[in-house]
Chains A and B, each alone.
Chain A
Amino acid sequence: MSRTILLLLLPVLAALALSQRRRLFAIIGMGVFSLLLAATYFLSHAPDVAITEAAIGAALVTFIYILAIRNTGRLVVVASETTGLLQRVGDGLAGVEWEILSALAQEMGLDLVVQFVPLADVECLVRQGDADVGAGGLVLDTAPEGLVCTPSHLQTARFVVRGPVEARNVLEPAPFSGHFSDLVESVQRRDPLSVRLDLARFMFLSRHGLTGYEATREEGTAGYTFVVSVRRPEIHTRLARIIQHLRQTGALEDSSRRHLG
């Protein structure tokens, strides 16, 4: 009786596994199919075959497929961690840019993967095709070679932070390019510094105490953007449409109020 039920379930599970849109679900379906097949073998008095089927079909092949689809079906985002825009919260991620990118990944039916890199590497990785989108508080006046900027999703300003007092006016202000955590540490150590920052990073830094440092706001406003390779115009079009949609519905304003205050 139980074998009859298993035999009836097998084609149903196979059809379910084949008809899944998301690859991960299809692989899990295949794994369950193998497990039931192993149970069928066991009930048919073939325990050796059952063990082999369970080990290879349900375990090894499933794991190999899971490792294999890691680089497919994913929207890879490289970003410099920026508080309020794209930051780690516990085991997950949060921020204004995270919400926009999640909407994009959902629309494209892909899994969103964020890899944190120094700010200077973001453009290079997107240009090489190692990532689909560059994010994390990018403020660009003109699009770098080989890349396209999306319309800005948030307004920002540029700030120059110099200091401490004895080192002021010694260094020329350079745009911030490394890991933000390194910058926070060097401010805490009172290292000589002369750096140009965007609003989100400046706000976070000033909350941690910029005493001894001089901060000036540069004239004019700028906007945060995402960068996409010129070879991926479909991502650029979708991203621009999502940003416009979120702005029209007020979701973008609401999100920036929640994450940036």
Chain B
Amino acid sequence: MIRRNARLGAVSGVIVAAFCCLVWFGFELGTERSANPSIWIEANAPIGATNLVSTIYLGARLFDTVLEVLVFAVAVLGVRHYLEEKARQVSTVETLPESHVIRVSAHLLLPLITLLGIYVTVFGHLSPGGGFSGGVIVASGVLLVAIALGPHAIGQRIPPERLEWFEWIALLMILAIVLIPAVAGDPPLSGILPPGRFGRLYSGGDLLPLNLLIGAKVFIGSWGIIHHFLQHRGEI
């Protein structure tokens, strides 16, 4: 038994050490970056956005992003479909609320977290961030309140059922933004809005509306999934 444990320990030690080395080499030796910012500006200038990452995943790689959003939408749909079959569970048991500190701090933090999420979404094409991270930040703020006040209380205040229709409208609008140039006879990925002035809030063409729509979709989808689990299974 002891010998087996020692062998297991040795094997896991080797794996952990190998992983550490891999991460180490990856970070320390494998990064040869260009420190010349003019490359960024040149690459982004045509579309007008200062965030190169956003320019790639909502520009040249827009179809990848749209398919990711579709995969997320299918996941949300699947969760809803299979949980609708289960009867709603209404807990009759009165739960003792969490401590006063958590309740008060959750109330104080929710507006700040929501504001940060909206900022990250709106400025996604200018600074780090974007629709995915912004939507997740707002959803985590709502989850914090769900932990502090109980999921049912926050479910009544922000009912995902009322937001679901907007989720599908957002998805249709994203698809429309992608497909309209193709229908109109323009080359694919040419966008429908003008690029705007470099570095301004209104710049980057379709990046701002795409980020907003993706942010709304991710927030409603993730909060909806969690709320459905809580409502139909009584737990996550």
Contact = CB atoms under 8 A, between A and B. Distances in A.
A70 B147 CA distance: 10
B151 A67 contact: yes
A93 B96 CA distance: 10
Interface string A64-81: 101110110000001000
Contacts of B129: 48, 51
B235 A71 contact: yes
A259 interface: no
B31 interface: yes
Given A7-B24, A48-B128, A115 B120 contact: no
Contacts of B235: 67-68, 70-71
Interface in B190-226: 222, 226
B174 interface: no
B143 A114 contact: no
A115 B222 contact: no
Interface residues of B, number: 41
A146 B146 CA distance: 35
B27 A7 contact: yes
A91 B97 CA distance: 9
B137 interface: yes
A60 B225 CA distance: 13
Nearest to B144: A63
A155 interface: no
B182 interface: no
B20 interface: yes
Contact of B93 (A45, A59, A115): A115
B93 A117 contact: yes
The secondary-structure label for the interface of chain A is helix
Contact of A60 (B51, B127, B130, B139): B139
Contact of B230 (A59, A67, A113, A131): A67
Among A4, A47, A63, A91, find the residue whose CB has the most chain B CB atoms closer than 10 A.
A63
**Which 6 pairs show the lowest CB-CB distances between chains A and B?**
A47-B128, A59-B140, A63-B143, A68-B236, A55-B136, A48-B53
Given A11-B20, A48-B133, A60-B136, 14 more contacts: A3-B27, A7-B20, A7-B27, A40-B27, A47-B127, A56-B136, A64-B143, A67-B230, A78-B93, A91-B100, A113-B96, A115-B95, A117-B94, A121-B92
